[in-house]
Amino acid sequence: MSQISIVIPTYNEEGFIERLLESIARQTVQPKEVIIVDSFSEDKTCDDIKKYVNTLPLTCISVGRGIGLARNIGAMAATSDVILFLDSDVELQPTFLEDAGSEFEQRELDLASAHFYVDPDLPKVDRIGTKAFNWYQASFQYSKNPMGSGFCIFVKKEWHRRIKGFNVEFRHSEDHDYVKRAVENGAVFRLLKSVRFKLSHRRYMHDGRFNILSLYTKAEINRIFFNYKYAPREQALYNFGVFTKPSKNKRKSAQTS
């Protein structure tokens, strides 16, 4: 099984990132490296990360905000042939890397994602929603326009380079666009059968179920019918450091330059 580099973007992930790192530390097969790309978090995210400096092979990078930018910077630092992009509010089963890595290699995949774990402790409406999303995502995996969930994406590093990474201008659907461009260029993408990952439902709690459903419905209409023509876009700033928060003057000069 190929070694895996894990890339995790963070921004104000206090509490969540610690649970993810703990689940990685408990893996039966350990990653070659865990690369955390932090966008100058203003809470205790960095303190949570530092707890695992002696437990995990951590590399920490600071960079301006932007999910696509953070993933691309992390991928540039990765030294393995296989990269696993994870969002900071997921948790992995103890055999996740072992099972997923073996299946990824045996099925000769270039990219892969996985289904959500259906948590029995969630409200019934959320359990139904999770099952529905899993089914919906699976229905597109053999198409030329698959859904690649950015919460969890395996990719061969050569394919990340070939498609020039994530589109840093996208504020939403950058993960689906990423997988779609790879598939259009000949990459093989599938959903893994052997693993599930647990996702925090904080989005529902923070923004409300209706607002989340509306957001993703609009994103899907844009994906299916308009080829991301109307994807929300943003300008991303390249600010580098190591857990060093830029001064207000530096931020202002960067924004006006």
Confidence at residue 203, expressed as pLDDT on a 0 to 100 scale:
65
Q: Which residue has the tokens 């991303």?
A: 236
Backbone angles phi, psi at 61, to 5 degrees: -130, 140
Confidence at residue 171, expressed as pLDDT on a 0 to 100 scale:
72
What's the whole-number mean pLDDT along residues 15-34? 97
Q: Does domain 4-246 have CATH number 2.60.120.590?
A: no
| Domain ranges across the chain | 4-246
Yes or no: say if 152 and 197 are a contact pair by the CB < 8 Å rule.
yes
Q: According to the 3-state scheme, what is the secondary structure of 169-194?
A: CECCCHHHHHHHHHHHCCCCEEEEEE
List C-alpha distances in Å: 209 to 56, 216, 256. Answer: 35, 11, 37
Strand partners for 197: 92, 116
pTM tops 0.85, yes or no: no
Tens-digit pLDDT profile for residues 203-243: 656 666 667 667 667 766 766 666 665 555 544 433 333 33
